[in-house]
Amino acid sequence: TDLATFIAGLPKAELHLHIEGSLEPELMFALAQRNRVAIPYGSVEDVRAAYAFSNLQDFLDIYYAGAEVLRTRADFHDLAIAYFRRAAADGVVHAEIMFDPQTHTDRGIPFAEVIEGLLSAMRVAEAELGVTSSLILSFLRHLSEEAAFATLEAAGPWLDRIAAVGLDSSEVGHPPEKFARVFAAARARGLRITAHAGEEGPPEYVHQALDLLGVERIDHGNRALEDPALVARLAAEGMTLTVCPLSNLKLCVVGDLADHPLDGMLALGLKATVNSDDPAYFGGYIAANYRAVAEARGLSRADLVTLARNSFTGSFLPPEAIARHV
């Protein structure tokens, strides 16, 4: 079989996906119309032309503006079901989906509208596509600790349907230590823990995510490679890294996919995985990420199998479910 067929046929979990980042320009236009929200674009082509970023903040500005069209439970449902259809076509059998409640509650959209729309799409995805999923509530790190606590509080009625908390948005200047107490409160409520670290931020932020947040995996983690002692620790602890090749390229974390460190991570004994991050903005869903990095780095089929296996062992599924997938 050819590479694309092999990749699509490989059962995999997606561990790093921001549902707001799966908003395709066509759906953005449809929701803008449905909700009578003005958007600063004349056409779908205009939108795609705006997706040229030189760093994370460039992207975040456009990503938060795009999310303005999301207003009702039906919008969040439609957003998520569109993601699940594409993920299923790419061979995803389990997805752990990040959502950014503050992006919506700060615009007056009730937490309930956001999460009930996502949960209803998750039920349809399991029943009709056979894709299981869970939710990761991500705190926006450019906002305050107090705002993060308020978000955890707002999530109270749904905590049994949220697997984990995460930490995203502008990394540099917002170290994990800012959220140590919120993450301790989330752990005390039985939530699993992940955080973006080492995408643009220094290795020190990865150390903090481990020591102060108690993360069970690291989202991105690229810059951990600058610190050999940290690499040794991540390998010894079997820490999963949720790596996002096309994201890294579009946000200039790497200059060229030919220089992407994914196979270097595997060679160092790190449990790397491949994920799509914000596929509508970065040019492809999970299979496109596997294909692009496999071609650019000459990955073997054994490497691809390892990456897919790591996606299950690094998931927040219970051990029995992981055992069924690997």
Binding residues for Zn(2+): 16, 18, 196, 277
Pick the catalytic residue: 199, 216, 226, 320?
Answer: 199
Interaction pattern, residues 56-75, with ligand HPA; x per rule: CB under 6 A: x-------------------
CA 241 centroid distance within chain: 11
Nearest to 168 by CA among 230, 224, 97, 109: 97
Closer CB to ligand HPA, 10 or 162, in the complex: 162
Query: Is 96 an active-site residue?
Result: no
Q: Does 24 bind Zn ion (CB under 5 A)?
A: no
Residue 80 near residue 122, CB atoms below 8 Å:
yes
Q: Does 103 bind ligand HPA (CB under 6 A)?
A: no
Write down the least CB distance from residue 191 to ligand HPA, Å. Answer: 19
Write down the least CB distance from residue 192 to ligand HPA, Å. Answer: 19
Rounded Cα distance, 160 and 308, in Å: 27
Q: Does 22 bind ligand HPA (CB under 6 A)?
A: no
Q: What are phi and psi of 104, to 5 degrees?
A: -105, -45
Amino acid at 48: R
Closer CB to Zn ion, 100 or 277, in the complex: 277
Rounded Cα distance, 42 and 132, in Å: 37
Q: Which of 277, 280, 294, 314 binds Zn ion (CB under 5 A)?
A: 277
Q: Which of 7, 10, 17, 21 binds ligand HPA (CB under 6 A)?
A: 21
Buried b (16+ CB within 10 A) or exposed e, 158-182: beeebbbbbbbbbbeebbbebbbeb
Active site residues: 199
Q: Binding residues for ligand HPA, per CB under 6 A?
A: 18, 21, 56, 168-169, 196, 199, 247, 277-278
